[in-house]
Amino acid sequence: MFTGIVTDIGRVRSVRPTDRDRRYEIETAWDTATIDLGASISHAGCCLTVTEKGPGWFAVEVSNETLSKTSLGDWTEGRRVNLERAAKLGDELGGHIVSGHVDGLGRIMAVEREAGSHRVRIEAPAPLHRYIAPKGSITVDGVSLTVNTVEGSCFEVNIIPHTWEATTLGSLNPGDAVNLEIDMLARYLARWQETA
């Protein structure tokens, strides 16, 4: 489990196909001696397992299923990536409860400066847009955000300067694809209503 609070921006240092799927090596500022093999790390909102590591880097393997459902299939060397280590009992829950299971790909429709912040309009795929509510939580590329408004299949978030600079969201442009994870409570409530 994660909280959607990014603690490092990593960089893809290599991409290699494997006999099963694809292997990424990620450079990080974290002390990799403190990362266990088998640890779960959120990569732009996608939970992946550490399979190898060295000083300043670690490797993950990504299945074809994940490549087809997330933005990871488009990653190339040099790509900057929001990283978050799994939460531990007793950690501060600064964002919201995030599973690291991407629900779908959103599309950036507009990025506008608003005072010191940025307002970002994102189109969510059907039927995902039905589970996004004003003042609810959503994860965009691994970052916990509050939904400001919802209009049809689009929603808007306001990104404060700290988040704009401390994550990869500051490089968003119209047309970019972003990993979306809806609020876990909304997912289960919607499922309960479907079966009730």
Domain match, 155 and 124 both: yes
The answer to whether residue 1 sits within a structural domain is: no
The answer to whether residue 180 sits within a structural domain is: yes
Q: What is the pLDDT of residues 93-117, one digit of tens each?
A: 777 888 899 999 999 999 999 999 9
pLDDT at site 157: 98
pLDDT at site 151: 96
Domain match, 52 and 116 both: no
Last residue of a domain, one of 32, 57, 85: 85
Domain match, 79 and 130 both: no
The answer to whether residue 139 sits within a structural domain is: yes
Entry pTM: 0.92
Domain match, 77 and 159 both: no
Helix or strand run (H / E) with residue 50: strand 46-54
Domain match, 33 and 66 both: yes
Structure tokens at 124: 């969510």
Domain match, 63 and 144 both: no
Q: How many domains does the chain divide into?
A: 2
The answer to whether residue 2 sits within a structural domain is: no
Domain match, 157 and 191 both: yes
pLDDT at site 194: 66
Domain match, 81 and 155 both: no
The answer to whether residue 95 sits within a structural domain is: no
Q: Which residue has the higher pLDDT, 138 or 20?
A: 138
Buried b (16+ CB within 10 A) or exposed e, 137-154: bbbbbbbbbebeebeebb
The answer to whether residue 176 sits within a structural domain is: yes
pLDDT at site 10: 98
CB 76 within 8 A of CB 15: yes
The answer to whether residue 97 sits within a structural domain is: no
Last residue of a domain, one of 20, 55, 85: 85
Domain match, 125 and 182 both: yes
Domain match, 145 and 67 both: no
Domain match, 115 and 183 both: yes
Range of the domain at 130: 104-195
Domain match, 81 and 117 both: no
Q: Where residue 79 sits, what CATH number does that domain have?
A: 2.40.30.20
The answer to whether residue 46 sits within a structural domain is: yes
Distance CA 57, CA 115 (A): 37
Q: What is the pLDDT of residues 164-196, one digit of tens each?
A: 999 999 999 999 999 999 987 766 666 666 666
Distance CA 48, CA 99 (A): 11
pLDDT at site 132: 92
